[in-house]
Structure formats: C-alpha cells, structure tokens
Amino acid sequence: MKNVTVVGLGKIGLPLAAIFANCGHLHVYGADINQTVVDKVNQGISHVDNEPGLDELIAKAYESKTLEATVNTSEAVSKSEVVVVIVPVLTKENGATNYQYIDSAVEDIARGIKKGTLVSFETTLPAGDTRNRFGRTIEKISGLKMGVDFFLSYSPERVYSNRIIKDLSAYPKVVSGLNPKSLELAADFYQKGLNCDILPVSSLEAAEFTKVAECVYRDVNIALANELAMYASKLDIDIMEVIKAANSEPYSNIHLPGVGVGGHCIPVYPYFFINNGLDEGLTTLSRRINDDMAKYAVGMAEKNLGSLRNKRVLILGLSFRGNVKEPTKSSTLLLIDELKEKGAAVYVDDPLFEAGEISKYGVVPFSKQHAEEIELIILQAYHDEYKNMDFSAYKNCSLVLDGRNVLDKEAIIKQGIHYVGIGVK
C-alpha cells in the first residue's frame, strides 16, 4: 500500500482523502491545523455537512483504518510517497492574494519531504505558483531539487459542493507535471486513487490557468445574463422567457441572471488574472456587474416601495447558494450592506445556520414570530426549504423580490403581494 498525505481536510480535502482511503490501495494521512477536525476524523466522523456519500466513506475508512488524521503535517509527509495539497489561497478585501495558510502548509511539507515524493497541488492558484513559489520553497527548505529529488504536479479541483463525491469520479482529472516523470507519477496516482479519466495538459501553468479560466467563464457569462436581464426589465420583457427561447439554438448558452455571485471560487479567482496583468476588460467588468447586482436589487425594491428607511426586510438564505452551508462572499452580505445604508431593519433566515451564526452579521436571525413584521422579502439562496413556501403568514409584506427567478409568482400574487424577479415582472 502506498502512503499519501492530504494536506487540508476542508470541504474538498476531506472528500478527497475519504475517496483515496477507500480506493483499496492507499493509506491516507489527513493533515490539518484544526485539532477539532483532526479529532473528528479520527473518530470516524465527517465535519463537512451536506455532502452526499461522505459520512459513509469516512465511516468505512475508519473501519478499515485507512484514514488517519494528524496536526503534524511534516511527520505525515515524511512517511508518504505522495502529498496532495488542498489548503486555500484567499483574497484580501482589496482583492490582493493572501498566501498565509498555504505558505505555512508548504513549509511544513518541505520540512518532512523525502526523496522520490510526488507533491501535487490542487488548490486554485495564479499561473506559475506551483513551480515558482511552492516548488522553490520546498527546494530551499528541504535541500532537494524539484524534478530530480522530488516531483511536482498541479491538478485543479473543479468539483461542486454538494456533489463532490460524484464529481470526483465523473469529471476528467486535468493533470500536469513539472517534467514527464512528474506527470507520469501524478496521472498514475489519480487514475488509481479516483478511478477517473485523466486529461493531461502540457505544463503546470496551463493546468493552473485552466481552473481560473473556468471561473472567469462562469463569472463573465453570469454578468452577461445580468446585463441582459437589467436591459430586458427596462423594456418590460421577461428575460426568463427570452433565455428559454434563445437557448433553443445550440450555440446559445445564456446563463441565469441573479442577485449576485458568491462563494469562494467565482467571485475570488478572477482576481488571480486581474492582479496579474489582465487588469482591463471583460473579467474586471464582469466582477463589477455581478457585485453591483445587490445594489440593483435594492434599487428595484425602492422603486416599488419607496424609501426603505425603517422598513423590515427579510433576506432568505445566508449561504451563497441553495443547499450549501457556506456564507463566504455570499450576495446576502452585499444585500445587508445596501439595505442598512438605506436605513432598513434586516432579518435573515437560513435553515442551515444557527441563530448565533446569523446574528454575527449584524442582522436579526429570523424566526416565525417575526413573519407579520416583514414588509419586503428578498430571496437570495434557494434552499429546498423555500420551495413551495407559504407566504400567507407575511400579512404586512408588500413585495417579494425573487433574486433567483425561481419562486411561484402566482402563489405570491394570490396573497396580495407584489412580485418582481431579476429581469422578470
């Protein structure tokens, strides 16, 4: 059995470690700085919610003793032939890149690495970082030479929360290597570990660029949908009807408009291009359009209701999208800022969060007894709980702003409540 260390047991790292641990020929060390995460994994428990299949895989790995978590990354790495890095790179408020966590992880790896080890980065990165930043750090600290004494690969993680286990074997794994030997080792490792198709690309940089390009593609296309929706609204045309009609042509794939783009991928990774030379053009503009959608939505509410001062507004969903417990860069945070600026009292409902987790955003955690107080409802994250929502309890609500164009308009109107969507009246 080969030993592999997965560094970072988060929402992506834990499912990855769990699949490797169940593939039949890998012993997995899961390294994480969070002691609670490590303790849970060592008890056979997943700390990641809402990930179908993950609890079972962790329990199975616990039974077979093929997954062992630790806070000691260097020690785990010293016993491993393969190291997979899935610790995030973040962006600061001003969009600048924050390497704090991954730099520290790479230093730990460098202190433990032995000759012949393959280190594979999966974290989304600006092009060039695997080679120039992390490869060099490992060389400097370990005294080993990349491509000769240790091998370097980059393989982006392209999965979607909520269906990670499925995606990991269904998507082809884009794999790259510093040199042919690195690529050969990485392709073999992923093919066996994930039982998936391998899509080799010619350089570390091409693979790094691929993942960011996917995020930019989504962001730009959502921005286009938002622009079309705002324009359609001016002309009193229903954008959803238009999109359905337009997409009946095979070359048209107009995305869905909405109240914003959240999460820690799509609104974040375009800055890896914007900060590194792609400082003008569609990528930058799209970021601005998508972030301005919260302002647009609040403006629409004002148009319908007049001043929002002292109005009690309920936002549905703290998460950035439906059925995922993830508040990072959620459009709800932008909506909260806009609404507060207008003097509104903001309530937030999210069935996936405890009241205390919601109140720390400076809003009132919604509970049923607040229903009669609410004057405006904005749907942001379409959790399953909001399907077939009963609006009859909201006796003083005069407007539902459907930020995802998914609610039952007729049912809302039946309650005497006005309805608007994004590009939908």
Ligand X SMILES: NC(=O)c1ccc[n+]([C@@H]2O[C@H](COP(=O)([O-])OP(=O)(O)OC[C@H]3O[C@@H](n4cnc5c(N)ncnc54)[C@H](O)[C@@H]3O)[C@@H](O)[C@H]2O)c1
If binding is defined by CB under 6 A, does position 178 make contact with ligand X? no
**What is the helix (H) or strand (E) element at residue 6, kind and residue range?**
strand 2-7
Other Cβ atoms within 10 Å of 32 Cβ, number: 24
- Residue choice 28, 69, 113, 159 for contact with ligand X (CB under 6 A): 159
- Residue choice 4, 31, 313, 339 for contact with ligand X (CB under 6 A): 31
Of 141, 70, 131, nearest to 109 by C-alpha is 141
Rounded CA gap, 144 and 138, in Å?
A: 7
Residue 125 CB, shortest distance to ligand X, in Å, is: 8
- Residue choice 17, 57, 87, 334 for contact with ligand X (CB under 6 A): 87
Residue 321 CB, shortest distance to ligand X, in Å, is: 10
- Residue choice 34, 74, 137, 191 for contact with ligand X (CB under 6 A): 34
Rounded CA gap, 246 and 249, in Å?
A: 6
- Residue choice 129, 157, 338, 402 for contact with ligand X (CB under 6 A): 157
Residue 326 CB, shortest distance to ligand X, in Å, is: 7
Within 13 A of 109's CA, how many CA atoms are on the CB side? 38
Nearer to ligand X, 89 or 344 (CB): 89
Residue ranges in 327-356 that form contacts with ligand X under rule CB under 6 A? none
If binding is defined by CB under 6 A, does position 216 make contact with ligand X? no
Name, in order, each residue with C-beta under 8 angstroms of 222's C-beta and a sequence gap of 6 or more.
255, 256, 257, 258, 261, 266, 286, 290
| Residue least distant from ligand X (Cβ) | 10
Residue 216 CB, shortest distance to ligand X, in Å, is: 14
Residue 77 CB, shortest distance to ligand X, in Å, is: 11
- Based on the number of CB atoms within 10 Å of its own CB, is 401 exposed (0-12), middle (13-18) or buried (19 or more)? buried
Beta bridge partners of 420: 401
If binding is defined by CB under 6 A, does position 257 make contact with ligand X? no
Give the range of 76-84, 155-163, 173-181, 341-349 binding ligand X by CB under 6 A. 155-163
- Residue choice 3, 4, 5, 7 for contact with ligand X (CB under 6 A): 7
Rounded CA gap, 261 and 257, in Å?
A: 10
Phi, psi values for residue 131, rounded to 5°: -75, -55
Nearer to ligand X, 9 or 308 (CB): 9
If binding is defined by CB under 6 A, does position 37 make contact with ligand X? yes
- Residue choice 18, 67, 86, 363 for contact with ligand X (CB under 6 A): 86
If binding is defined by CB under 6 A, does position 119 make contact with ligand X? no
If binding is defined by CB under 6 A, does position 11 make contact with ligand X? yes
Residue 275 CB, shortest distance to ligand X, in Å, is: 16
Residue 29 CB, shortest distance to ligand X, in Å, is: 11
- Residue choice 117, 142, 161, 331 for contact with ligand X (CB under 6 A): 161
Rounded CA gap, 180 and 372, in Å?
A: 66
- Residue choice 12, 174, 223, 297 for contact with ligand X (CB under 6 A): 12
Residue 250 CB, shortest distance to ligand X, in Å, is: 28
If binding is defined by CB under 6 A, does position 109 make contact with ligand X? no
- Residue choice 35, 43, 98, 104 for contact with ligand X (CB under 6 A): 104
Determine the 3-state secondary structure of 199 from DSSP.
strand
Residue 383 CB, shortest distance to ligand X, in Å, is: 17
If binding is defined by CB under 6 A, does position 276 make contact with ligand X? no
Of 371, 361, 268, 274, nearest to 318 by C-alpha is 361
Question: What is the side-by-side order of every strand in the sheet holding 82-85?
Answer: 67-70, 26-31, 2-7, 82-85, 118-121, 151-154, 173-177, 198-200
Determine the 3-state secondary structure of 283 from DSSP.
helix
Check residue 87 and report its DSSP letter. P
If binding is defined by CB under 6 A, does position 35 make contact with ligand X? no
In angstroms, the Cα distances linking 104 to 63, 84, 86, 107, 260 are: 32, 15, 13, 5, 33
Helix axes 54-64, 13-21, angle to 10 degrees: 50
If binding is defined by CB under 6 A, does position 6 make contact with ligand X? no
Nearer to ligand X, 23 or 33 (CB): 33
Within 13 A of 267's CA, how many CA atoms are on the CB side? 22
If binding is defined by CB under 6 A, does position 9 make contact with ligand X? yes
Residue 60 CB, shortest distance to ligand X, in Å, is: 21
Q: Interface with ligand X by CB under 6 A: which residues? A: 7-13, 31-34, 37, 73, 86-89, 101, 104-105, 123-124, 157, 159, 161, 265
